[in-house]
Amino acid sequence: MSAAPTTQPAAARLSVALSLRKSAVFALLAAMIVGFSWAEPAFLGLGNLMSVLQSVAVVAILAVGVTISMAVGGFDLSVGALAASSVMTASYAMVVLRLDAAATVALTLGFGVVVGLVNAGLIVLVGVPDLLATLAINFLLTGLQLIPTAGRSIATGLILPSGDSANGVFDPNFLAIGRARFLGVAPYPVILMLVIGLAGFVLTERTRIGRLLFAVGGNEIAARLAGARTERLKTLAYVLSAALASLGAVVGAIFVGVLLNGLTMLNVPYYTQDFVKGAVLVGALGLTYGLGRRPA
């Protein structure tokens, strides 16, 4: 009978601590923005804010995919090499194969899906540990992107290993994906980042599939015994990771972008910026995870 009054305050403290943990990064981000804008009013200019968001868009999109792979208890080390290989694939498609923007996007996304399926096959079917499998694919992709052009940069007039000349050009519609602005204000990469971040958040936090992904990551055997198709879920996670990288991840990327942009605008010496960035991130991580552990 006396356990209930003791349990309820403990549960309340745990709930408060978890809420603080979830909001810690947002609070630190808001504090940084206020501090930098006070020290340099131009920091809050629309152009500068769009520049910050555009600079972190690619990393944030990759982070969404990595977050999904982490939900199933894995980690995708191949995303960096895949991003670079995708640039090569798109360039090769336009300059050498002379494809238009739509076909180039389809081919590049298809390439990502294939890599995701290979990762999933090695991990789910063969049983290779995720870190080793994706690290191996990372090395494979790093080398593969150099082979089609014998290590040369892709540009109009490229001489291929066969001796032929590649005379295709980069489709302006494809280049607009990274250069154009929505309503003349928001760069399309920023819009894409926000859409993908929101979609990742909804998938992982608000859907049955998301709950199953976390169940697999928490205890794969228990999830399988409960009826979850763990192999399909892990395959889905790695395919999504490779084809892209939840809203937490996007905030993290923005956090780093705001920090570096603010340090630059305040003329902080370049050789101290990595130290300051590391110190702030250590503090942010310590505060975030420390708050979650305090009630225990």
**Residues 201-245: pLDDT tens digits?**
787 777 777 776 776 666 666 667 666 677 776 776 766 666 653
Helix (H) or strand (E) holding 103: helix 101-120
Instruction: Establish if 23 belongs to a structural domain.
Output: no
85 occurs within a structural domain = yes
Is 4 inside a domain boundary? no
For tokens 């999504």, name the residue.
240
CA 18 to CA 289: how far, in whole Å? 9
Question: What predicted TM-score, i.e. pTM, was given to this entire model?
Answer: 0.71
Helices 172-179 and 101-120 sit at what angle, rounded to 10 degrees? 70
Range of the domain at 51: 31-291
Three-state DSSP state, 2:
coil
pLDDT beyond 60 at 246: no
Q: In the structure encoding, which two tokens stand for residue 95, read together?
A: 């300059």
Q: Which span out of 5-19, 112-126, 264-278 was modeled with the highest average pLDDT?
A: 112-126
Q: Is residue 283 part of a domain?
A: yes
Identify whether 41 is part of a domain: yes
Contact 190, 128 (CB under 8 A): no
The alpha carbon of 119 is separated from its chain's Cα centroid by a whole number of angstroms, namely 17
Output the domain CATH number for residue 89: 1.10.3470
Residue 50, token pair as written in the block: 């769009």
Tens-digit pLDDT profile for residues 268-293: 787 777 787 777 777 766 665 565 55
Round to whole Å and give the CA distance between 43 and 257: 12
Structural domains in the chain (count): 1
